[in-house]
Structure 1
């Protein structure tokens, strides 16, 4: 592989992992009766609607069919991608439950 192909592969892998992070976030929201789009907008009010989040919502399942997504797992995944603002909003929601 040349340098450009390597760079393209890295970007492709990152985007795939980012989609997985968004799916984890969306499913966590569904599991806790929260609207993922509303939480996202609270975290990033100046951003337009997130098309990747909408795609992820199509892949979520009802909470009765979903496996558990531990709070710590979601916060760790958000942290890996530098989504500190979204992690802050998620943390606020976790505190409301307790």
Structure 2
């Protein structure tokens, strides 16, 4: 029984952390006048709509806090979202050229 509770805790904690990662990505995108859903689709064209991403966009307040490029890339890579980190880094390069 104790092991099930531990597993449930780990799963819940991961889901909370993943939601935070999505929120950071959405806020960073909106702060930079980018469409987070479009960027996600570029990174993962074979995936269907990500409901957690759509919810995060609806609830986003990009003025809440500023996310640096480095922080975003670190968090995306921490969660294994290398394709999304690559797309974000492409956008970062475009923003630097402006």
TM-score tier, shorter chain, comes to: over 0.9
Partner of 2:74: 76
TM-score by length of 1: 0.93
* Structure 1, gaps ≥5 residues long: none
SS class of match (1:45): coil
1:95 aligned residue: 93
Aligned residue pairs, count: 96
TM-score normalized with structure 2 length: 0.93
Matched-pair contact (CA < 8 Å) for 1:22–1:53:
yes
Could you tell me which residue of structure 2 aligns to residue 17 of structure 1?
Answer: 17
User: Structure 2 regions of 5+ residues with no counterpart?
Assistant: none
